[in-house]
Structure 1
């Protein structure tokens, strides 16, 4: 199954999240075969990132958006740990600080755009400013609708500078979210994630779904597409995202750069050094008075 074709939000498409099954599992019915396939794609992601880092002609920006407990952290842990930390950045965009609020909404995002050779992963992103601000009426409709144009322009500029952008909305059901909240209560290792705001935001579910539908439809472009990932099943989420990112990076047509030194000369120096060390060891072994060290 081609997950890119299946899950992409086509530019100009009218999106209805209610029509997309968050429990979709693709061709796998169980976790085990999907886990095996995921490992193959994780290995592929590592190889592609090594090419990206060595070639330094492109960069990759991955955007993750979801409702609370939607699986952003889990995706990073189970998929993107395939990337070498040297060459990867993960940025979590929390509530804006007073200083950030004094600037344009994209001001805090610009410094985190990936340089050539790097992968940047946004755990939440600039899209919070057309989602949270809209739902909570922190800005008026003309403001958040105008921001769609600003976002498209920003992402187009990144694309022109060599950044490949892939955006994922992790789509879970309201029932699955509540089940995950319950698991957080029962697991001491997850208690720290619990927030009073979880349930306040949950009460605004329908408003958020409408905001996501409009934002994704308005900002999914050929150069910076959105994908709606059915995420009730974590194993399917991980597999689908790994495949989409790997397939996208593969299309960059990357290759390792040619060496900047004369390899023939370097090989000669290597063999000369290796032979010199072998001669020194033979000379040392044959030296008069050479004896084994006493055992302690």
Structure 2
């Protein structure tokens, strides 16, 4: 959408997420926002077809946010017009025993998007500097040499982990993966309202867990960890976008617009030209097919 300036959502190393608004509506009604999203996602779907035909880039979309931030519904609505074979969504939950037998990035490497495809990570490799930062005891399950107790996990440990993540993303970028990282910036009050809705609507009961309330008590700690993670890993080749998330419909339009506007800057992504020999004989092929009607 023309009214969305995508650069205003890019996080800088000096950005303070506590000072960034949680709500946006652009002065538009819900009906208008829905229409805007339909238009934008159609163009995104067309771009995905071209990306697939071009077959030299992949796109990795990373979604992070507090519980109830709207990640699932955003994925459902933004990518609705994609060819289903052109986009893959992966959700990363508590690591399995197999995953813990490898380094923490292993499970993410396994499902990176192939050339010509979009990959969406619903929660991402950043859980390893977010949830594990809030609950450092989880690190012990990784069985890392030299880490025997929580007290062994010092600032140097986290500094190295940020460096590893930065190197991981640079490696992907340098080999043709276009990276987008979105932090769905939800307010604590809006989360409270959404949790209450899960409790009051029977069809949404399955989404609620008492653990949500436990983690909610750690809100400030999570915000601090998000602040550091974003400031230390936002780069031109792998930028973080801080998206106001209290209004789900506007958040979806913003994310779709960021993707479309940024991807359109890749002028080298286009449908491959036909081989000269095939191009020269298009009329012949057409006549051959047309002639079948007369048989």
TM-score w.r.t. length of structure 2: 0.89
Displacement after TM superposition at 1:108 (Å): 0.9
Runs of 4+ in 1 over 3 A off after TM superposition: none
Secondary structure of 2:192's match?
Answer: helix
CA RMSD of aligned residues (A): 1.5
Distance 1:123 1:100 in 2: 17
**Equivalent position to 2:161, from 144, 147, 168:** 147
Match status 1:239 vs 2:253? yes
Displacement after TM superposition at 1:259 (Å): 2.1
**Equivalent position to 1:255, from 258, 261, 270:** 270
Distance 2:131 2:173 in 1: 26
User: Which string of whole-angstrom CA distances, capped at 9 and with x for unpartnered residues, describes residues 92-130 of structure 1?
Assistant: 000111221222111111011111100000000000000
- Uncovered stretches (5+) of structure 2, i.e. residues with no partner: 140-152
Secondary structure of 1:108's match?
Answer: helix
**Structure of larger gyration radius:** 1
Counterpart position of 1:9 = 11
TM-score w.r.t. length of structure 1: 0.89
The answer to whether the 8 Å contact 1:3/1:240 transfers is no
Deviates more, 1:191-200 or 1:203-212: 191-200
Q: 1:224 to 1:187 in 2, by over 3 A?
A: same
Counterpart position of 1:82 = 81
Counterpart position of 1:162 = 176
Deviates more, 1:137-146 or 1:15-24: 137-146
Distance 1:269 1:45 in 2: 32
- Uncovered stretches (5+) of structure 1, i.e. residues with no partner: 281-296
Correspondences of 1:1-296 after superposition (within 5 Å): 1-10=3-12, 13-25=13-25, 27-138=26-137, 139=139, 140=153, 141-253=155-267, 254-260=269-275, 262-278=278-294, 280=295
Secondary structure of 2:199's match?
Answer: helix
Q: 1:270 to 1:185 in 2, by over 3 A?
A: same
Q: 1:176 to 1:264 in 2, by over 3 A?
A: same
Secondary structure of 2:64's match?
Answer: strand
- What is the aligned residue count? 276
Displacement after TM superposition at 1:32 (Å): 2.2
The answer to whether the 8 Å contact 1:7/1:227 transfers is yes
